[in-house]
Amino acid sequence: MRPLWQIPRDCLFWLLVSVIISIGLHLGHLPPWVALSGIIAAGWQIQLYRERWRQPGRLLKWSLAGACASGLFLHYGRFTGLEPMVALLLTGYVLKLLEIHHRRDALVLIYLSYLIIILQSLFSTTMVSSLLVLAALLPVTAALVAMHCGAENSRPATALRTALTITVQAIPLMLVMFIVMPRIGSLWAVPQQNSATTGVSDSMSPGDMTQLGRSGKIAFRVEFDGPIPEQSQLYWRGLVFSGFDGRRWDQQGPWGYNDGQFLQWSNQPQETWDQVITRRGAPLSYRVTLEATNSPWLFALSTPLSQSSTVALSRDFRLVNREPVISKLQYPVKSWLDNQLEPASLPGWRKRLELAIPAGFNPKTVEIAQQWREQTPEPLVLMNRLLALYNQQFIYTLRPPALGKHTVDEFLWGTKKGFCEFYASSFVFFMRAAGVPARVVVGYQGGERHPTENYLLVHQYDAHAWAEVWIEGRGWLRVDPTAAVAPERIEMSFADLFGEQDDFLSASPLSLERMRHIRWLNSLRLKLDSLDYAWSKWVLGYENMQSDFLLGLLGEINPQRIALLLLLAGAIALFPVFIMLYLGREKNTRDELDRLFLQYCSRLEKIGLPRQPGEGARDFAQRISLLAPGLAAALDRLTQLYESARYAEQSGAEILLFKKALKVFKPSRKDLLIRV
Amino acid sequence: MIKRWRQALNKRYQRWITRRLPAVKKIRLDNRKLFIFPTRGGFVFFALLVLLWLIATNFENNLIFAFTFLLSSLFIIAVFHTFLNLSGLQIEGGRATPGFAGQTAEFEYLLSQSGKRQRYSIEISYPEVEPTVVSLMGSEIKAIYLSIPVKRRGWFKAQRITVKSVYPLGLLKVWTYLQFDTEALVYPQAIDANLPPQAASGRGDKPPPQNYRANNSGSEDFVGLEKYRLGESLRHIAWKQFAREQGLQTKHYADAVDDELWLDWEALPGMDTEARLSRLCAWVLDLSETTRPYGLRLPGLELAPGTGRAHRDSVLRALALFEQPAAAGGQA
């Protein structure tokens, strides 16, 4: 069957390029066979175009679609979630390549290319990948241009050049829109299953997470009344996980505790459990400005107390807001860094809570933990032994392999690669198995000191998980097993992000991190670092600056002013384009008639009959008619046509007549033979 | 009711467009003559933008915002490009080749520009005619031809043609409706007679059928031979003399116009005007392929016998304009 509509050749070329590029961009999180089927479909489409192969039959197409869908389900185990959705979209897109019957099929493919290429930004937000996405949009636009160009056999390069022109012209306007267009927060919760992009969530399941999404967005800012404490002191506690079901750590919640209300409000009488907190010395006083999180958990240094009436202290010694934080929230905190929590003793029900391990999980760890407990009964020694194990054998990476059913077993005695959540989870499980009460704490660690102002910026990539163990007589002690593996993760803050990234690159021998000893390479690395930092600050986290920026520009943010600014700045951005396009048009060269007349003159000049300067067409014709009487009739006719085209009304029809007559006007030297 | 409204609306629209874009010989397109609006593809693209914006908002992803804004800007820049693809274009109504009623007449349109812009994919269309797509490179002049169906004989003025372009991105279309005052002559529909004129079939010595009141009133007296002149009918060559090597000579008869045919309106009694004209037209076409001279007699009009293309055209013209307003009138 011949296709009903033949796609223009250059359009097909750019469409195939777009498909290959879309697949290439998503290669990192796609099953490889999707990429393979994309290449096969592209090849098939080429053969279709050359009329070598035929359209796949309906049965084949449907079974292919079915096979792909089930393949994806087998690969991901579900269809919800970002990655399976994108993979499904990509598969459908690739299969669509096999049925381009109408213009609209090609159009759908082009629009889908735009969507799929841009969706890559959900997976990677680095500057390099953004530039790649920007470049990848060009062939798609070229395909769109080629489709509407209509010129026969036009070369692909022409379409690409037009696409490039339009894109370059669009960039100033894009920048204006990016800067001015207000962002509203999430409209509804989006499934974020495989990557914890927002740092801290309500539960933690290290085995499922194969990649820690890092976002350069700000989590909160802290302004201290005094100097900012040491980096290694800055453990911002957010949630405490005491429950573990073998896979997932989560909060015990109010029902886990039975000695009074779970939350203690500042304007209400103290709960009895407040007695177990020993606060020593002068408190550290600071204000936290938290970005919207959509959950009530607040972040503070241990052990905190807030005077705000909407903030409560919970039974596990952290701060909780009355309502989920849906917009920026500022709260004052006093923290006693020197403290003891539940130092005296833990009642039986508390011990049971903090020692619980699910049956049937991680048998090897349980066995080894008990062995160790017999060898080293002292909890602190036991703990140090485990930390030493981490230090010697484990690797900190942001891309650990996925774990199966026995997450702790596989991690501790198998893969030995992971990030903070893996360490916290395995450490707490091991300590509990060895009979030491322990729990997981998640929150943020460190922060970036603002170079000139006295405040601290805590980013989403500072999200961290660590452990607390209970030692009789000393209470809950903070232990950070990640620090045992990658101490620099804790000691430096800003470099953390990049330290992580270098770890992330540790598989590659060309990693700049590995060449720290080469000076110029190191300075290059730091330059790249600061570029990347600027990128995350100004682009990825722009909405944090936007309101300040617009406020400074407009004085007051309201829809009218924003619309006005958008119009004004948009007009300024469009002005060069406008000038370019309109002036380009006015740059007239000689018109068609002049060009034809010059052609006429040059033909005569070639046979030795040049036109005198300033000689009119008629005078010229009369003069040379005498020299070449054989041409006289033709010259007379041409002159008449020229004059009527020139002086009557510059009419296309007249010019065309002149052109036609000129076409057959071939004077040669023979015409000169008869001389008077 | 709705039909009446629609008619009224249509009338208003016709009045408005006639005022805005009156019939002309030549027109240079500019912003007052062009209309621009998103295409269906443009609306789908807009839906894509909304989808991307939703994704960006929900995932709070500034990069997706940036690319969404880039695509939005492409849309806006495309407005300029699409508009300029037609703006500045000059269109002129060229010649119109006559046609026969019920068939098509060919209208010529000339596209040119004073600048050097490359204009791609300009679509020129007419109701019920396959659209023509043309690109204009630099300062050339392009002629395009539309074969427009014509129904009735007489002068035919083509309706508005649509000039449209969606280049470069297909997101927007810019178009205009142009009326040119070029008129095509429409000949009557040629309906073959049941009795094709035998005289035309090449046997001049047989008496013509009754329909032809040939003016050869019986006198076929041979008067002598003359030297053959180029263009004379081969039928009259004196082959015997030629065989005797006396050179090419033609036989001449007393009545020199014996071979002339008069196509006479009066010879077709009992038929209505159009049927007669159609019959006459068919005969003219048949005869014009022979060398036989023919004349035309219509009430109040007589065209002397003659041959050749110019003669044929003037006879057909007379048939086309019979009982029609003399000057080029409105739509025929």
Q: What is the pLDDT of residues B74-111, one digit of tens each?
A: 999 999 999 989 988 889 888 888 989 888 899 999 99
Q: Give the span between the Cα atoms of B193 and B79, in whole angstroms.
A: 58
For chain A, the domain total comes to 4
Return the SS3 of A468. Answer: strand
CB-CB: which of B84, B114, B168 is closest to A166? Answer: B168
Cβ-defined contact of A186 to B57 (cutoff 8 Å): yes
CB-CB: which of A145, A190, A574 is closest to B59? Answer: A190
Residues A473 and A399 in one domain: yes
Domain-located, residue A568: no
- Mean pLDDT across A211-220: 64
Contact with chain A for residue B50, Cβ under 8 A: no
Assess whether A420 carries a catalytic annotation.
yes
- On whether the CB atoms of residues A150 and B120 are closer than 8 A, the answer is yes
How does the average pLDDT of chain A come out, rounded?
80
Q: Which domain holds residue A498?
A: 203-504
Residues A498 and A519 in one domain: no
Residues A500 and A516 in one domain: no
**Residues from chain A contacting residue B62 (CB–CB below 8 Å):** 178, 183, 539-543
pTM summary value:
0.63
Return the SS3 of A108. Answer: helix
Residue B331, pLDDT > 50, answer no
Residues A248 and A369 in one domain: yes
Residues A495 and A529 in one domain: no
For the record, the structure tokens of B136 come out as 């204009």
Q: Give the span between the Cα atoms of B110 and B93, in whole angstroms.
A: 6
Residue B69, pLDDT > 80, answer yes
Domain-located, residue A106: yes
This model of the complex carries an ipTM of 0.76
Residues A519 and A626 in one domain: no
Taking domain B25-187, whether its CATH number is 2.60.40.10 is answered by yes
Q: Can you give the pLDDT at residue B59?
A: 80
Highest mean pLDDT among A347-351, B67-71, B288-292: B67-71
According to the 3-state scheme, what is the secondary structure of chain B?
CHHHHHHHHHHHHHHHHHHHCCCECEEECCCCCCEEEECHHHHHHHHHHHHHHHHHHHHCCHHHHHHHHHHHHHHHHHHHHHHHHHCCEEEEEEEEECEECCCEEEEEEEEEECCCCEEEEEEEEECCEEEEEEEEECCCCEEEEEEEECCCCEEEECCCEEEEECCCCCCEEEEEEECECCEEEEECCCCCCCCCCHHHHCCCCCCCCCCCCCCCCCCCCEEEEEECCCCCCHHHECHHHHHCCCCCEEEEECCCCCCCEEEEHHHCCCCCHHHHHHHHHHHHHHHCCCCCCEEEEECCEEEEEECCHHHHHHHHHHHHHCCCCCCCCCCC
Domain-located, residue A104: yes
Residues A551 and A602 in one domain: no
Residues A403 and A482 in one domain: yes
A contact residues 370-399, partner B, Cβ 8 Å cutoff: none
Domain-located, residue A576: no
Assess whether A480 carries a catalytic annotation.
yes
Residue A131, pLDDT > 90, answer yes
Q: Give the span between the Cα atoms of A115 and A113, in whole angstroms.
A: 5
CB-CB: which of A187, A539, A649 is closest to B57? Answer: A187
Residues A309 and A434 in one domain: yes
> Is the pLDDT higher at A80 or at A511?
A80
Residues A538 and A603 in one domain: no
pLDDT in tens, A516-551: 566 677 667 566 656 765 676 677 767 767 777 787
B contact residues 224-253, partner A, Cβ 8 Å cutoff: none
Residues A41 and A139 in one domain: yes
Cβ-defined contact of A589 to B66 (cutoff 8 Å): no
Q: Give the span between the Cα atoms of A147 and A107, in whole angstroms.
A: 9
Residue A623, pLDDT > 60, answer yes
Cβ-defined contact of A589 to B139 (cutoff 8 Å): yes
| Residue ranges matching CATH 2.60.40.10 in chain B | 25-187
Question: Strand pairing of A304-305 and A339-341?
Answer: unpaired
Domain-located, residue A186: no
Domain-located, residue A577: no
Residues A336 and A268 in one domain: yes
Residue B36, pLDDT > 90, answer yes
Contact with chain B for residue A150, Cβ under 8 A: yes
Domain-located, residue A280: yes
Q: Give the span between the Cα atoms of A540 and B64, in whole angstroms.
A: 10
Sequence-separated (6 or more) residues with CB below 8 Å from residue A306: A266, A298, A300, A313, A319, A331, A332, A333, A334
* CB burial string A314-344: b at 16+ within 10 A, e below: bbbbbbbbeeebeeebebebbbbbebbbbbe
A contact residues 515-574, partner B, Cβ 8 Å cutoff: 539-543, 574
Contact with chain A for residue B264, Cβ under 8 A: no
Which of the four pLDDT bands, split at 50, 70 and 90, describes residue B138? confident
